[in-house]
Every structure is written in structure tokens, then in C-alpha cells.
Amino acid sequence: MVSLALPRRGRERQRPSHRPPDWGPVPLVEREVGARPVGALRALFVNENLGGHTAMHTYLRVALADHPEIDATFMDVPPPGLCRRMVAVPVPGLARLDADLQALRYQLAQSAYVRRRLHRLLADVDVVHVYTHNAVLLSAAALASRPTVVSLDTTNLVNAFSLDYRRPGRMTGAGLRAVMPLERRVYEAARVVVAQSEWTAVQLEHYGVSRHRVRVIPFGVTVPAVAPRAATEGLPRVTFVGKTMAGKGGWALVRAFESGLRAHCRLTLVTCDRVGARPGIEVLNDVRPGDGRLLELFARTAVFVLPTVNDKAPYAVLEAMAAGVPVVSTRVGAIPEMVQDGVSGILVDAGDQAGLVAALRALLGDEDRRQAMGDAARRRVLERFDARRTTADLVDLLAGVYGGREPS
């Protein structure tokens, strides 16, 4: 087993001015620029910075501009350096059984990195917001010294059996028995735990978190003033957005397109993965979160589709809905809380190829239904997932935690 030498508790010793290079680059610590009134609440936002976390904090930053009562500092955990990558290398022979504790070793390395730097920032803040708990598994004692809110989209109990890049094995339970006590310590250190969905809130019951300490805030997206729609010619466009094809169901969509949809639509894939040239399929590899081209693409999209098998609360779904595009997706994670089946889109079971084809054909053949569902999708986002609303809820919660008020 690969061992991990963790830094000792408390303030670290004085070190030379240079930092060991193998621990990776210094984390991005960014204080929002602009005049803030005297007495503004000094808030530190710690971002684990994995997957959709980047998009979540991008929208949060934009919305916080409307809250001068918050003096925000952001700590974004950078990608792992050499040392953190080496700590998390799978162990041959043990990885097949999930007995090498690879996920736990990675989390501990990330948490050790955060802990080494967190205490330097806590002296200058009034309240702390952490997303997610895995970034601070080794910082529970430090967080208990400040009013803290911990937010999450899922727990390790769920991740151990659902992530597409790891396969549970005979020893998965042993890894959970090691990490769950660390999770509990973080939840206990927080004044309030924020679940991104009701689906997430239910998971916290397995950790003994009292429901009166849980708030559900579904962190939202920036909603454009109007839903831009562009005139299109030829077959209607179906759009998929996912960093990886396998984890987001992209290859299942390609198979569905080639088996029964080619004559009914064009397909655009926005992904970091390489996809070979195929008739009727356009691939965009250079579109990133916050790219204005994505909104332009949604303006030309008839249906957005994400046949994911393991997502929690994918932002691409909300971004499409905010642009007035109906959604076809799967009944996994918090997606049923985002997409109202039959109202703002159609949900199918994960892995149901025939159901996916049928849902897409139904919408592609009915323009009026697509329009009605797209309008309903945008209303749903405005009512529940507008970042201005969700950020206002979070700001109110942070102020209440700092002031000692109980969460409502």
C-alpha cells in the first residue's frame, strides 16, 4: 500500500521561502476586486475545483457582484502536482478489488494540501464556505474555529458505487469505513450543511446529520435576459455537452443516433474527448465553461440530450433549460428535481437505448411540444435555479451563521 505522510496538526513550522515543487502550484487565492462597504462580511470560499465545481463557482462569482455586503475571497484547489498524483497511483493487483484505497489516498493528499494553506487564510475571514467536504477532510478542527458552511452534491458513500472511472470491488466497504468518519467530522464542524438537492439531503441521513442542520440550496446558473432562438435550416439539431463521452452517456447517444435517429436530426457533441468523423455528427472539442459559443449553440438547438448514468446535478442541463431548450435525460441523481418529466423535458431510465430513441423521436417530430417544453424549462430555471436567487439564499445563510442564527 502506498503511504501518505500527512502534515502535523496546528500551525506549520517556518520553512524556507521556496516551496517543495512536487506539491504543485500555489492554489488560486483571489480576492474579489471592487469597493466594499466597511463592515462587509469577510467570506472565504474554498473550492475543491473538480468537474462541475468550476462552473458552480463561476456563476457564484458573477452573482456575488450584486452583494456588496460580502467581501469574498476564493481559494480554488489547483490540479494535483507530482506528489499528489504519485500518492494516488493505483496499486497493481489490488486496484481490481478496490483494495488499494486509491480514492481515499487521493482525497487525503488533496485535503493535506488544503490544510497546509487554510490556516493562513482563516485569520482574515469571518465565515467560511466549503464546496465540497472532500477538500477539507483533514481540516475539521480548523473549520470548527470559524463559522462554517459545508456544501456538497453527493457523499463518498454514493461515489464509491457510482463513479464511472472506478469500479467497486470486494474491499470497497473497507475504504468507506476509513473515509466516512472523516466526512462526519467535517459535517460536525460545520454550523450548517448545504445539500445541493433533496436527493443529496437524503444521503446525509446515513452520516447522522440532523435534518434541522441541513439546508437545500440548488446552486444555479446565470440566466440570459432572453432565451435566444436562431432560425435554422434543414434537420433539427440535437446537442450533447459532456466533458467525457463515456461518463455522460455520449457513446450511448452516438449509437442511438446511428441506429434510429440519423434521418430525423443532426447531432452536435461538445466534449473534451476525441470522436472520429461520422456522417451527420459535428464535434466541438474547444468549448469550455463560460464560453459564449455555448449559448449560441443552444439558440440553434431543438433538443438537448444527456443520457448520463451517474451524474448528480449537471450544470449543462440547467444551461440548456435557461436557454429555453427542452431536455432529454435520465432518472439519476438530482436530475428529476431539475427536469420535470413530461413538462420541461423527458426522462428515461439510464441505459435504456430504446427509450432514449423514442423520447428523441417524439420531440423531434413535434415542434409545438418542443416549444412548450422549452418555455417550461426556462420558467423552471428562473423559479428555482437562477444563480441570483440561490446566491442570495447562500449569502443570507452565511450572514445568519456568522450572527449565530439557526437555519430556517
The answer on pLDDT for 235 being more than 80 is: yes
Beta bridge partners of 71: 42
Average per-residue pLDDT for the chain: 87
Q: What's the pTM?
A: 0.86
Residues 318, 335 within the same domain = yes
The answer on pLDDT for 388 being more than 90 is: yes
Query: What b/e readout covers 52-61, taking b as 16+ CB neighbours within 10 angstroms?
Result: bbbbbbbbbb
Strands 28-31, 70-76: pairing is antiparallel
Domain assignment present for residue 3? The answer is no
Question: Closest Cα partner for 300 from 323, 322, 277?
Answer: 323
| More confident position, 238 or 27 | 238
- Residue 329: its H or E element: strand 327-330
Residues 189, 281 within the same domain = no
C-alpha 243/C-alpha 354 separation (Å) is 24
Residues 262, 191 within the same domain = no
* Spatial contact of 268 and 239, defined as CB atoms under 8 Å apart: yes
Domain assignment present for residue 77? The answer is yes
* Spatial contact of 200 and 334, defined as CB atoms under 8 Å apart: yes
The grid coordinates of residue 116 equal: 497546509
Domain with 328, as residue range(s), is 237-385
* Spatial contact of 105 and 88, defined as CB atoms under 8 Å apart: yes
Domain assignment present for residue 173? The answer is yes
Residues 69, 48 within the same domain = yes
Report the chain's C-alpha Rg in angstroms: 22
Beta bridge partners of 306: 329
* Spatial contact of 60 and 32, defined as CB atoms under 8 Å apart: no
Residues 113, 186 within the same domain = yes
pLDDT in tens, 257-292: 999 899 999 999 999 999 998 999 999 998 876 678
C-alpha 221/C-alpha 57 separation (Å) is 10
Residues 63, 207 within the same domain = yes
* Spatial contact of 297 and 323, defined as CB atoms under 8 Å apart: no
Q: In what order do the strands lie in the sheet with 214-216?
A: 28-31, 70-76, 41-47, 127-131, 148-152, 192-195, 214-216
Domain assignment present for residue 1? The answer is no
Number of domain units in the chain: 2
Strands 127-131, 28-31: pairing is unpaired
pLDDT in tens, 157-173: 998 887 766 677 777 88
Residues 67, 201 within the same domain = yes
Q: How many CA atoms lie within 13 A of 399 on its CB side?
A: 14
What CATH number is attached to the domain comprising 46? 3.40.50.2000
What's the pLDDT band for 176 if we cut at 50, 70, 90?
Answer: confident
Domain assignment present for residue 230? The answer is no
Residues 192, 300 within the same domain = no
pLDDT of residue 356: 96
C-alpha 326/C-alpha 297 separation (Å) is 14
* Spatial contact of 398 and 41, defined as CB atoms under 8 Å apart: yes
The grid coordinates of residue 239 equal: 446537442
| More confident position, 402 or 174 | 402
C-alpha 377/C-alpha 363 separation (Å) is 14
The answer on pLDDT for 219 being more than 90 is: yes
Percent of the chain at pLDDT exceeding 90: 67
Domain assignment present for residue 15? The answer is no
What's the pLDDT band for 36 if we cut at 50, 70, 90?
Answer: low
Mean pLDDT over 221-250 rounds to 90
C-alpha 268/C-alpha 266 separation (Å) is 7
The answer on pLDDT for 391 being more than 80 is: yes
Question: Closest Cα partner for 202 from 167, 162, 152?
Answer: 152
Sole residue written with cell 431539475: 338
Query: What b/e readout covers 200-225, taking b as 16+ CB neighbours within 10 angstroms?
Result: bbebbeebebeeeebbebbbbbbbee
Residues 214, 249 within the same domain = no
Q: Which amino acid is at 263?
A: A
**Residues, the chain:** 408
Residues 356, 209 within the same domain = no
Residues 161, 291 within the same domain = no
Residues whose CB is less than 8 angstroms from the CB of residue 30 and which lie 6 or more positions away in sequence, other chains included:
73, 74, 76
pLDDT in tens, 328-383: 999 999 999 999 999 999 999 999 999 999 999 999 999 999 999 999 999 999 99
Q: Is the dihedral of CA 65, 67, 68, 69 positive or negative?
A: negative
Residues whose CB is less than 8 angstroms from the CB of residue 392 and which lie 6 or more positions away in sequence, other chains included:
63, 67
> How many Cβ atoms from other residues are within 10 Å of residue 108's Cβ?
23
Mean pLDDT over 82-96 rounds to 76
Domain assignment present for residue 4? The answer is no
Residues 210, 287 within the same domain = no
The answer on pLDDT for 22 being more than 70 is: no
Domain assignment present for residue 7? The answer is no
Mean pLDDT over 26-39 rounds to 60
